[in-house]
Amino acid sequence: MTLIAGAFLGFLAWFLLRYLVAGIYTVDQNERAVKTIFGRADRVADRTILDDPIAEAIRPEERERYAYPQVRVIPPGGPYFRWPWERVYKVSIATQTINMALDIETPSANQSGRVLEAVTKDQLNTGLTGQIRYRVCDQNLYAYLFGVKRPVVHVMGYFTSVLRERIANFEAPTVDAKDPGALMSPETATAAIGISINDLRKNLRDLNDHMDRECRSSEARYGITLDASLITGIDPPEDVESALAAINTAHNQVSSDISLAQAGADQTLVQSRRAVEIETLKAQAEVEPLRALAAQLKQLRQSGPEVLPAYIRNVRLRLFGKARRAFLEVSRD
C-alpha cells in the first residue's frame, strides 16, 4: 500500500507541476497572444476581418480570399492560465526595420540584399536602395499565425512587385497648361523629358507615398502593417551614369540662366516702377505752384475789376527792380 500511495502522490505532483503550474503564463508589454483550444483558435463569434476597417483597402474581387476570422487577442499582463489542451501563441508587435532588397528565402539574391533591381519605362535597369518599417498587426493575428506560412516573405514579395510595377510605369506629374507661372518655372523648363530616372529622383517623396498607400492592404492580407517605406536611392546603370550626369549638368546650367534672367527682369521692373514714381512726383511738384497761383489770381479777380491790374503792375515793378536792363518799345507816331 505504501508503494501504491507513493506512486499516486508522485503522479499527482507530476500532474500538478506539468499541467497546472506550467499552465500559468504572462504576456509582455510589446507582445500579444492568441490561444488555441484543441488546435482551433479562440474566435470572436462569427466576425471576420472583412468586418474590420483594415479590410477597406482590399479590392472587392479579393475580399472573399482574405476573409480571415477574428480571434480573441490576449493583452499584456497576467498571470493567465491555460489548460493542457490549450496552446498559447505569443507575437511581438514591436516595429522592425528591414532592407527592402533583402530576400529572406534567398539571402544571396539582390546583391546579398543590398540593391533591388527594377526596370524603368525607358528600359533602364536601375538599382533601388532603402528600408521598410513594419510590425505585426494585432487586429489580424489569425492571418499572421495561421493564414500565411511565412508572412514576412509574402509582404516583401508583395512590396517588391508593387514597387517594380510603379517604377515601370512611373511618369512625372504633368504641368497645368493654364498656369503660366508653372510653365515658366525653372523646374519645368529644365525637366528631363523622357528620362524616367530623373523623374523618379525628383519625385522620390511621391513614390514613397504611393507605396504607403498601395501597401495598406497588407494588414488584411498577411497580418503585417507597413509603417513606412523609405526609398533613399535610385541609381542608373554605370554605362549611362556619365550621360545622365552630363544631361543634368546642362539642365542645371539652363536652370541657373533662367533664374538669373528672371532676377534681372524683376530688378528692371522694380527700377522702372521707381522711375515712374519719381517722375510723377516731379511733375506734381511743378504743377502745384501753378495751381496755387491760379487760385490766387481767381480770388483777386473776384475782389474787383481794378485789383488784378494793380497786382500785375506790382509784379512788373518787382521784376524791373531785379533786372539790370529794360527794353521799352517806343511808338514812332
Q: In this prediction, what percent of the chain has a pLDDT beyond 70?
A: 79
pTM for the model stands at 0.61
Q: Which residue has the higher pLDDT, 257 or 86?
A: 86
Per-residue pLDDT reduced to its tens digit, 283-292: 888 888 778 7
**Distance, CA of 216 to CA of 227 (rounded, Å):** 9
Other beta carbons within 10 Å of 301: 12
pLDDT value, residue 231: 84
Residue 247 C-alpha cell reads as: 544631361
- Note the CATH architecture for domain 96-237: 2-Layer Sandwich (3.30)
**Distance, CA of 330 to CA of 333 (rounded, Å):** 9
Q: What letter represents residue 286's amino acid?
A: E
Stretch 222-239: mean pLDDT:
80
Residue 108 C-alpha cell reads as: 544571396
Question: Which neighbouring-strand residues pair with 73?
Answer: 34
pLDDT mean across residues, the chain: 79
pLDDT-based confidence at 188, cuts 50/70/90? very low
* Domain chopping of the chain, boundaries: 14-92, 96-237, 238-320
pLDDT value, residue 163: 87
Other beta carbons within 10 Å of 1: 5
pLDDT value, residue 176: 53
Which residue has 512611373 as its cell numbers?
170
E strand or H helix at 302, and its extent? Answer: helix 238-303
Does the pLDDT value for residue 180 go beyond 70? no
For the chain, what's the residue count?
Answer: 333
Residue 214: closest CA among 96, 132, 102, 124: 132
pLDDT-based confidence at 195, cuts 50/70/90? low
Stretch 159-172: mean pLDDT:
83
- Between vectors from CA 13 to CA 8 and to CA 18, what angle results, nearest 5°? 125
**Distance, CA of 297 to CA of 308 (rounded, Å):** 7
pLDDT value, residue 190: 41
pLDDT value, residue 172: 65
Stretch 176-187: mean pLDDT:
48
Residue 43 C-alpha cell reads as: 474566435
Does the pLDDT value for residue 177 go beyond 80? no
In order of 137, 163, 306, 319, the CA distances from 216 in angstroms are: 11, 14, 99, 95
Q: In this prediction, what percent of the chain has a pLDDT beyond 90?
A: 6
In order of 111, 182, 216, 251, 252, the CA distances from 191 in angstroms are: 32, 12, 32, 7, 10
Stretch 138-148: mean pLDDT:
89
Residue 193 C-alpha cell reads as: 523629358
For 68, list phi and psi in degrees, rounded to 5.
Answer: -75, 145
Does the pLDDT value for residue 246 go beyond 70? no
Per-residue pLDDT reduced to its tens digit, 277-324: 888 888 888 888 778 777 777 777 777 777 777 777 777 777 777 777
Stretch 234-260: mean pLDDT:
70
pLDDT value, residue 23: 77
**Distance, CA of 113 to CA of 100 (rounded, Å):** 8
Stretch 151-175: mean pLDDT:
81
What's 251's DSSP letter?
H
Does the pLDDT value for residue 30 go beyond 50? yes
